[in-house]
Amino acid sequence: MIDFGFAPMEVSVHNMDTADLSLAHWINLHDETFNHCIACGSCAATCTAGQFTNFSFREVCHAIRRGEIKSAIDESEKCMLCGKCTLVCPRNVNTRNIIMLIRKANLTFRP
Amino acid sequence: MRYHPFTLPFSIGLGFIMLYIIVMWTIWIVRLSRREQKIVWKRLFSFRTISAIWESIREGLLHRNIFKRNVLLGYMHMSLAFGWFMLIVLGNLEARLYPHGVINPPYYPIFFEFFRHDLTPLHEYEEIFTFLMDFFLLMVISGVSLAFFKRFRSRTLGMKRTTRHILIDRIAITALWFIFPLRLFAESVTAGLYNTGHFFTNFIGQWVIYNLPLDYLYYPAWWAYSIALGVFFITMPFSRYMHIPAEILLIFLRKYGVKEKESHSTFTKIELSACSRCGICIDACQLSTSLNISDTQPAYFIRDLRYSQPNERLRETCMMCMRCLEACPVGIEITRIRENERREHPLFSASSYGYINGYKYPKAKVAYFAGCMGHLTPSVIKSTLALFDAANVDYTFIDKNGSICCGRPLQMNGQVEAAKQLIDKNNHLIGESGAEVLVTSCPICAREFATSYHLAIPVLHHSQFLLELTQQKRLNFNQSGLKVTYHDPCELSRGLHITSEPRELLQHAVILSNGSKETESKSLCCGGSLGITNISMAERNKIATDTLNEIVAESSSYLATACPMCRKTFANAQDKIKVLDIAEILEKNLNFAPEKVSEKNQSPIKQQAVIS
Ligand code: SF4
Ligand code: SF4
Ligand code: SF4
Ligand code: SF4
Ligand code: SF4
């Protein structure tokens, strides 16, 4: 086939009925502020790591809510724990705690 | 008569504890690292030994540090330790002076009055010995009464909370509390029968002789006294009281220069045993005073680490603010130990931050580093740079386009491997920038740069740098006459011991007024701390408001901070008082008419003001 430099997009239908929400539930159990996020993106806008790479706490949370556990866990490692996001979050989401929880989940939840 | 079976419980206990201490001391010393043993050996015959002996007396017996906190509490500890010590020393002297020779079994001086009812052979010493023995016994009894009283009304002794003890500690305490009343009773009974006492025991002896069947009580009293001593000695190694022998060794080793390392070591074991679970750290901790979390402080953390493993909650629930460190009368390196314990639980791998590889800082002479938190408070950056401009400083804002975190937040949470990556990268980039001095407005970064980096250039907090500029007359301020309260950030005051520079600097433009004694090395944390993750924003705000209520003087118009994170945390938590960074306050009062000194004739910065 001729390489046009681009290809059809992968199908990304997401079936929430079959999504693995175990990590979401587990995090919620330990830090209920996880549920307070309104996906405003303030954390991503201020993120220290986000200046250098494609990383956003909002997206990590989003992935967890979609059951994409592996990618969320892998992404979470880019965080530098600097704490800026905690100070800007309008919903007082305990962002660093959630990052730490995701990192801990790395030891138990990794599929 | 030199023997009676009632001395057995005491003798067995004493033999056991002596053997235990010798064995433990030997094990500890043998297990120190080669390097540590070498420095101990090298410094053994030096002034350090004398100073260690003095410190052992001052802290082990007289408890000066506790006196400084609260006189009554100090007296309680002192009377128990010093009073008991004197009883032992005097008892021994008394037994030796008695004209039957100086070689006695170890229990003999302790139960001297049981064996010798006729003290006249002591001649002129009789009066003085009986008096002193009574005097120190009274002293110890008063200490025990205070200790007992403290269990019910600790506030009188300056403690809001006392440590909740485990079973073995309770047994040991009970035995300890019984020792002296029982000694008093046994000696009083003896004094009542044979007039062997002085003002105290004779007095009580007179009373008991009319009220109690003394002949029946004589032996049981001495038995009970001996048993209490025996139980105390046997429980000592397994309870908090192991702190007595451990603390002495600790004082000596510390004087020789042994300290905590990057991970737990034998020295840590000694430190853990040296914690008396006095609970002073509990009151010092704002998690306890503001949030009622009173079970994760060093008293408990160290206890659990000594016996086994503290659980995750215990390990993580601490702001690493170092207030307890400052308060601990034994001087245990608590925060270091907790950080090392956290290190044993890595969550980030060594390859977390590959994405920073291509990043660079620009060339610089005076490098200004705002840091993550600096970037959250653009007004601080703006004011700082405006002051630099006014002073004609040839600076470069090296992390203008983004800073790589200094690594301190990761490190405080035990993620050393990950932190190391950031440190290495920053170290390299700062070196590459060619900077001659590094200035940062964030104490968190300043501490990390100064202690974990190996930079060849001086690291200055902006308060130090601005003060030098002011002293060189490159900055000039108008005295506004406004009253301002200054808050010492933990990382700056306890972390880097920088407390006078910010004050001196502020005094050029405002009048300082403080509403509290909790300043400088005792300053209160803002609650924003990066060392803790498991408290909520509401809880952080509670700490921040409590701190402000405590420190802000009525008359103050502003709260001045020297930490962008404190500034943000305080400002987020309340709107009663306006919070400003030192640089912002100074910029407001900048007098723009200093004689212009050209940069060329000025050294960029004198080299001496380097953070340790
Ligand atoms: S700032 Fe807070 S609310 Fe907004 S996306 Fe981030 S975590 Fe969610
Ligand atoms: S703590 Fe992590 S997620 Fe939050 S701003 Fe810093 S690097 Fe970004
Ligand atoms: S750590 Fe220090 S202050 Fe805390 S209980 Fe132990 S000895 Fe006391
Ligand atoms: S470091 Fe601070 S938060 Fe942690 S136990 Fe000590 S006083 Fe409490
Ligand atoms: S932000 Fe300031 S006061 Fe708060 S923990 Fe850090 S250094 Fe201490």
Ligand 4 centroid – CA B569 distance (Å): 18
CA B84 to chain centre: 26
Is residue B357 in a domain? no
Least confident of B70-74, B95-99, B283-287, B375-379: B95-99
- Between vectors from CA B536 to CA B530 and to CA B537, what angle results, nearest 5°? 80
> Which of B446, B470, B494 lies at the terminal end of a domain, its last residue?
B470
> Which residue of A75, A87, A98, A100 is the best one to mutate when testing the B interface, meaning the one whose CB has the most B CBs within 10 A?
A87
Compute the residue count for chain B: 612
Of A80, A89, A100, the CB nearest to B405: A80
Q: B101 and B228, same structural domain? A: yes
Which ligand is located closest to the Cα atom of residue A88? Answer: 1
Only one residue has tokens 């800026």, namely A84
Residues with CB under 6 A from ligand 1: A 37-43, 57-58, 89-91, 93, 95
Q: Tell me whether residue B102 is in a domain.
A: yes
Inter-chain CB proximity A97 and B530 less than 8 Å: no
B594: phi > 0 → left, psi -120 to 50 → alpha, else beta; which? beta
pLDDT averages per 10-residue partition of chain A, 111 residues:
79 84 95 96 96 95 94 95 96 97 86 57
Ligand with minimal distance to B277 CA: 3
- The answer to whether position B15 is within a domain reads yes
A81 contacts B405? CB cut-off 8 A: yes
Closest CB from A55, A80, A94 relative to B536: A94
In-domain check, residue B3: no
Strand order in the sheet with B366-369: B395-397, B366-369, B437-440, B459-461
> What number is the average pLDDT over the span B193-215?
85
Question: In the numeric block, which tokens belong to residue B529?
Answer: 């701390």
The gap between the terminal CA atoms of chain A, to the nearest Å, is: 35
- Is B238 near chain A, with CB under 8 Å? no
Looking up tokens 């100064």, which residue turns up? Answer: B450
Residue B98: is its pLDDT beyond 80? yes
* Ligand 4 binding pocket, CB closer than 6 Å: B 284-285, 287, 297-298, 318-324, 335
Nearest partner of A47 among B345, B397, B355, judged by Cα? B355
- Is there a domain that residue B356 lies in? no
The answer to whether the CB of B397 falls within 8 A of the CB of B368 is yes
Report the pLDDT value the prediction gives residue B99, as an integer from 0 to 100: 81
**Does B482 have pLDDT greater than 70?**
yes
Whole-number Å distance between alpha carbons of A66 and A34:
14
Q: Which of residues 29-68 of A touch B (CB under 8 A)?
A: 31, 33, 46, 48-49, 51-53, 55
Residues lining ligand 3, judged by CB closer than 6 Å? Answer: B 275-281, 298-299, 302, 327-328, 330, 332, 334
Domain match, B111 and B235 both:
yes
pLDDT of residue B289: 96
Q: Residues B466, B387: contact at Cβ < 8 Å?
A: yes
> Strands B395-397, B437-440: parallel, antiparallel or unpaired by DSSP?
unpaired
CB contact residues (below 8 A), chain B span 384-443, against chain A: 401-405, 407, 409-410, 413, 415, 422
Residues B136 and B219 in one domain: yes
Determine what percent of chain A falls in helix, strand and coil, rounding each to the nearest 5. Answer: 50, 0, 50
Residue B160: both structure tokens together:
């809001």
**Side chain identity at residue A51, one-letter code:** Q
Q: What is the DSSP string of B382-431?
A: HHHHHHHHHTT--EEETTTT-----SHHHHHTT-HHHHHHHHHHHHHHHH
- B348 contact A CB<8A: yes
Q: Is A81 on the interface with B (CB under 8 A)?
A: yes
Q: What is the pLDDT of residues B264-297, one digit of tens each?
A: 999 999 999 999 999 999 999 999 999 999 999 9
What is the DSSP code (8-state) at residue B578? E
**CATH number for the domain that contains residue B329:** 1.10.1060.10
Q: What are phi and psi of B377, to 5 degrees?
A: -125, 75
Is there a single domain that holds both residue B116 and residue B13? yes
Which of B235, B212, B233 minimizes the C-alpha distance to B8?
B233
> Does the pLDDT of residue B594 top 80, yes or no?
no
Same domain as B198, residue B288: no
Q: For residue A84, which residues of chain B lie inside 8 Å, CB to CB?
A: 372-373, 375-376
Pick from A86, A91, A96, A98 the residue to mutate for probing ligand 1's pocket: most ligand atoms within 8 Å of its CB: A91
B313 plus B229 within the same structural domain: no
The pLDDT, as a whole number, for residue B101 is 73
Largest Cα span, chain A: 52
Residue partners of B447: CB distance under 8 A and separation at least 6: B408, B491, B492, B495, B496
In degrees, rounded to 5, the angle at the alpha carbon of residue B293 between the alpha carbons of residues B288 and B298 is 70
Residue pair B62/B82 in contact by the 8 Å Cβ criterion = yes
Please give the tally of structural domains in chain B.
Answer: 4
The tokens of B560 are what? 């001045």
Range of the domain at B159: 8-244
In a shared domain, residues B87 and B159:
yes
- The answer to whether A86 contacts chain B (CB < 8 Å) is yes
- Whether the CB of A39 sits within 6 Å of ligand 2: no
Residues in Cβ contact with B53 at an 8 Å cutoff, skipping those fewer than 6 apart? none
- The distance from CA B209 to its chain's CA centroid, rounded to whole angstroms, is 49
Total of domains in chain A: 1
Same domain? For B166 and B17 the reply is yes
User: Are B449 and B493 part of one and the same domain?
Assistant: no
pLDDT of residue B612: 42
Angstrom distance (rounded) from CA B273 to CA B307? 10
pTM for the model: 0.92
Is A85 part of any domain? yes
Task: Tell me if A14 is assigned to some domain.
Answer: no
More confident residue, B84 or B514: B84
Examine the domain organization and report whether B374 and B513 are in the same domain. Answer: no
Instruction: Give me the interface pTM, i.e. the ipTM.
Output: 0.90
Chain B positions touching A91 (Cβ under 8 A) are none
**CA B505 – CA B477 distance, rounded (Å):** 10
What sign does the CA torsion over B177, B179, B184, B186 have?
Answer: positive
Rounded to the nearest angstrom, the minimum Cα separation between B507 and chain A is: 30
B75: in domain:
yes
| Residue A2 forms part of a structural domain | no
Task: Identify whether residues B336 and B379 lie together within a single domain.
Answer: no
* A98 Cβ below 6 A of ligand 2: no
Check whether residue B108 and residue B186 sit in a common domain. Answer: yes
Question: What span, in angstroms and rounded, lies between the C-alpha atoms of B233 and B248?
Answer: 17
Dump pLDDT digits (tens) for B425-452: 999 999 999 999 999 999 999 999 999 9
Neighbouring CB atoms inside 10 A of B206's CB total 15
Looking at the domain assignment, is residue A17 inside a domain? no
* Average pLDDT of the residues in B382-394: 96
What proportions of chain B, in percent to the nearest 5, are helix, strand and coil? 60, 5, 35
Strand pairing report for B483-486 and B437-440: unpaired
Q: Domain limits at A87?
A: 22-109
